[in-house]
Homo-oligomer: A and B are copies of this chain.
């Protein structure tokens, strides 16, 4: 069975850079599955920065919504999914049933022919968001992260660019 890894952490904690290193260590011909959509200049800048850092050897699939389709399409190539939190945002904005999509994704992990590294965000460690939408998103993100972490072989928490292994763990 191909290896699956989840990398979580806060904003600008080094998650994507770690994920890129892990995917390239796994094998050649890596594939970047981007869930980002460039709504505005801020996001365009961020996407451009990530593309510049990755080399020309990376393939690219854009999958703002159909993540499971993109993973199925990837075959045995090592994949980097960046990131689950944006995918969730896209699903919610498109009024798709994110629980169903999360279940489908979780079921897929462990059956994929190729290795995959997922990047996600921790968003639940601040004070309670003021809006119902903020709370709903925070709860959905936590639920999705738990589901994916439960199915992945390894989980890392990125802290100030340093990876901390939380699964498997010794305690």
Contacts and interface: CB of A to CB of B under 8 A. Distances in A.
Interface of A: 6, 8-14, 42, 120, 122-129, 132, 134-135, 137-139, 141-143, 145-146, 148-150, 155-157, 159-167, 169-171
Number of copies of this chain that the complex holds = 3
Contacts of A9: 124-125
A167 B157 CA distance: 13
Contacts of A141: 12
B135 A161 contact: no
Contacts of A164: 157, 164, 166, 169, 171
B159 A157 contact: yes
Contacts of A123: 10, 125-128
